[in-house]
Amino acid sequence: MDLKDDTPYTRPIHKFMDTHKLILSNDILTPNCNFTFFRDSLNQKSMLDFFLISDNLISSLKTNIMRDDLLNLSDHLPISMTMHLDTGIVQGGGWLPPFSCCNQRT
């Protein structure tokens, strides 16, 4: 099932994504492969595995990769993504920037 298609099978997932403001990571950053599932004996390939990302984290997504560089005994490629997230600390209802030993707080 390709989530880019509009079918009776994808519509409930699309509705869930819309309700929770989720986006396919592939729509944000194009991955290095156009498939995650393969069956070489039948010459079949398709995109079956996805990450969903909250729309407020779009700018945090740095990589979106189908791992074809690993020893893999599965018919699915492992997928990975890297995000850069702010590590600010919330205390007492206020936001504090990331802590470091050079930035002591009282």
Share of the chain above pLDDT 70, in %: 81
Q: What is the pLDDT of residues 73-100, one digit of tens each?
A: 788 888 889 988 877 665 555 555 554 4
CA of residue 29 relative to chain centroid, distance: 9
pTM for the structure as a whole: 0.67
At position 37, the amino acid (one-letter code) is: F
What is the distance between the alpha carbons of residues 39 and 84, in angstroms, rounded to a whole number?
A: 34
At position 40, the amino acid (one-letter code) is: D
